[in-house]
Amino acid sequence: MIDFLIKSTLSLTALLVVYFLLLEREKMHQFNRFYLLFSLLFSFAIPFITIEIIQELPHQETTPTSIPMSGGTSMTVIEDTTNYWLISAWSLYSVITLSLLLRFVVNIWKLNAKAHSNPTINYKNAKLVLLKEQTLPYTFLNYIFINETDYNDRKIEDELYTHELIHVNQKHTLDILLIEILKVIFWFNPIHIFYKKAIQLNHEFLADEKVVQSHNNVPLYQNLLLSKANANPTYYLASNLNYSVTKKRLIMMTKDTSLSKSILKKLVLIPFLSGLVFISCVKKTDQKTPLDNAKETTKSNVVNEQKKDTYYAGVQVIVRDQNKKLLLNKKYEALTQEEKNKYLIYERTRLYPEKRKPIREELENLINKKDCSFSLDGLLLTNSQKELVLHTEIANIFGGFVEEKFRTKENPEMFSYSLQTPSYYEKEKKRNNPEKFPGDTIEITFYVNATQNQKKEEIITKVNGKETEKKEQLYNTAELTEKPEFPGGDGKFEEFFNKNIKKPKGLLESNEVNITFQIEKDGSLSNIRTQSNTGHIVNEEVVRVLELSPKWKPGEINYKAVTVLYNTNLAFGSGKKH
């Protein structure tokens, strides 16, 4: 909001200054009217316009450096506080805006009521409204309000009728209504007052110009304006004869602007507007050169290959085709690069989050914080145990505000944090992200004729010649002709889950868990994996419940049971499946 107000105000001010310096004193009033209206709309829109320019950075060789950080990394905890100053400011703005809006609506209603409660006479493209009170002619929309006695006694000069008809025919009231609406909304910004004065004066220039052209008697018209100069003011929404009878209007009637001068001043606006757009809207973003991108890609590939070599180091690789014919039997180190890429898939589980070590001051603040619970290495701490964390080496902390809908009777705290010691963190990281293949032999059945999207190798992991793990060809549910199903359907699955789940204490900020598991050909579940930000306690509890699951109806392709990779979200504590 602040950015919008600053950009809009700067644009309004710059465009108005240019108008006063270059355009106001020139006799090109139609263009000036368009310029003033354009300035209002342009300044309102410019904060929402962004032009992105991508610039390439020259390639630079860099050496990785280590940046020392003092005091560790701190975590900002957002307090649930109320900003009364902000509420007061918005309340004040609302009261003033509503008052001005009411004034605006009342004035429109009064003018409309006058137009319909007094006699009217059709006059060219307008309607004359005959009023009892003494007043100078003034215009609102297509109504020209005049004194009834002056009209009947023919005391209203033809020049005055011509003047007001210009306001009607050129719809000057719409310009006034626009600027008044902006004044209501942005009443705190005085720049709109100057715009209204400029617009109204330009309206008078337009009307005066037409009168002079039609009646060709400048001195007579000037004297007529001066004779009416002391009349009472009219409604601020109306265009009236007596607006700003100043030296500017009288001089403008006799002034002339050459075509070349007019064109030159209009052309000057082009670089000015371009510069304004560039300053306000252009945003430069850096992009690395193709050489940088290529080198980064190469570096990433090298790192991945190094990790792959570490992962499979010392593993005997045996590859057979779908007919069990031996294609390969080598140590991983003896494989060519082509064989590694062709037969071995380097699949790692999701990266475990990098640890964030809290500083002592942060822990002290959290411990002293009311309505806050802690767990240490998966165990919920009582209030008397919280001080223990100050005497324990903490390697990682995560957690924060718990939404009200996720709080329970057992865990009603507003904030919840999970702490991990160095050994516990490393154990969890290793469990979620193993660095080494869990076996000494891997047997792969390679389906030569399978398409790339459908091919899933059958992998058998062996340790000391004994089979420890077997992965068969996996299918996604979208590939099946018959999808797997829990006995009794989804409703029974929810019932089973709710019946067996035990909500752990210390539940963190979200209770939705993403679960991926395999449904084997016999309907049993295997390779259950969970991912959530609720902490490993919840994840382990969900895995425990799913391991109790009865066998599912397996998925099928053409009436043949297959192994299916199944993914779902569970709302923890309700068993609701998404």
pLDDT digits (tens, 9 = 90+) for 162-188: 998 999 999 999 999 999 999 999 999
- Distance, CA of 354 to CA of 368 (rounded, Å): 26
Which are the contacts of 212, defined by CB distance < 8 A and separation ≥ 6?
A: 218, 221, 253
Phi-psi region at 218: left, alpha or beta (left = phi > 0; alpha = psi -120 to 50):
alpha
- Please report the domains of the chain, with CATH numbers, ordered by start residue: 2-56+258-281 (no CATH), 84-254 (no CATH), 360-432 (no CATH), 474-578 (3.30.1150)
pLDDT, average across residues 204-210: 89
| Beta strand extents in 409-465 (DSSP E only) | 415-420, 441-446, 458-463
pLDDT of residue 298: 64
Q: pLDDT of 234-266, one tens digit each?
A: 555 665 555 555 678 888 888 888 888 888 888
Pairing state between β 143-147 and 126-131:
parallel
Task: Count other C-beta atoms under 10 Å from residue 371's C-beta.
Answer: 12
Pick the most confident of 22-26, 96-100, 364-368, 406-410: 96-100
The closest alpha carbon to 194, from 34, 3, 17, 43, belongs to: 17
Contact 189, 4 (CB under 8 A): no
Q: Which residues of 291-312 are buried (b: 16+ CB within 10 A; e: fewer)?
A: eeeeeeeeeeeeeeeeebeebb
Rounded (to 5) percent helix, strand, coil in the chain: 45, 20, 35
Reduced to 3 states, what is the DSSP secondary structure of residue 406? helix
Contact 458, 472 (CB under 8 A): yes
Q: Taking CA 534 as the corner, what is the angle to CA 530 and CA 536, rounded to the nearest 5 degrees?
A: 55
Q: pLDDT of 427-482, one tens digit each?
A: 877 766 666 776 788 887 776 544 433 334 445 555 545 555 455 566 777 677 88
Q: What is the pTM of this model?
A: 0.48
> Does residue 31 surpass a pLDDT of 80?
yes
Q: pLDDT of 533-576, one tens digit each?
A: 555 667 777 888 888 899 999 988 877 888 888 878 777 654 44
The closest alpha carbon to 143, from 107, 112, 170, belongs to: 112
Phi then psi for 553, rounded to 5 degrees?
-75, 120
> Does residue 34 surpass a pLDDT of 90?
yes
Residue 552 has, within 13 A of its CA and on its CB side, a CA count of 29
- Distance, CA of 568 to CA of 578 (rounded, Å): 7
pLDDT of residue 236: 59
DSSP 549: P
Q: pLDDT of 71-106, one tens digit each?
A: 333 333 334 445 678 888 889 999 999 999 999 999
